[in-house]
Structure 1
């Protein structure tokens, strides 16, 4: 479960960073720009992805301990 949370957290941070790069530099990267109903909310969604990614990584490290 820890590896799954780490992977999902990493992917969320990666997509959030790529989306913010798209918003500020107009590079054509990231998946959020391809979702139609999120048009106009790109910065908010990408920041939320970054926060979610860091939270998932923190949850993976803050478990009951290692086995």
Structure 2
């Protein structure tokens, strides 16, 4: 379970960072800009993904390794 939380946290971290890169540089990277219902909320969605990533990392650290 700890490994799954870490992988999900890493994916959320990467997608959040790529979403912010897309919003500020107009590079065509990341998943956030490809989701139509998030149109106009890219910065907020990317920031939420970054917060989610850190929460997942914290949850993974609080779990037992077994």
Q: Place the TM-score, normalised by the shorter chain, in its bin.
A: over 0.9
Query: Which residue is equivalent to 2:16?
Result: 16
2:37 and 2:56 mapped to 1: Cα distance? 25
| Counterpart position of 2:39 | 39
- Please give the root-mean-square deviation of Cα atoms over the aligned residues, in Å: 0.8
- Using the TM superposition, give the Cα deviation of residue 66 of structure 1 relative to its aligned residue in structure 2, in angstroms: 3.0
Alignment correspondent of 1:66: 65
Contact 2:2/2:65 (8 A) holds in 1: no
Q: TM-score, normalised by structure 2?
A: 0.95
Question: Which runs of structure 1 show a deviation greater than 4 angstroms over 4 or more consecutive aligned residues?
Answer: none
Tell me how far 1:62 sits from its aligned partner: 1.2
Q: What is the number of residues matched between the two proteins?
A: 66
Structure 2: stretches of 5+ with no match in the other structure? none
TM (norm. structure 1) is 0.94
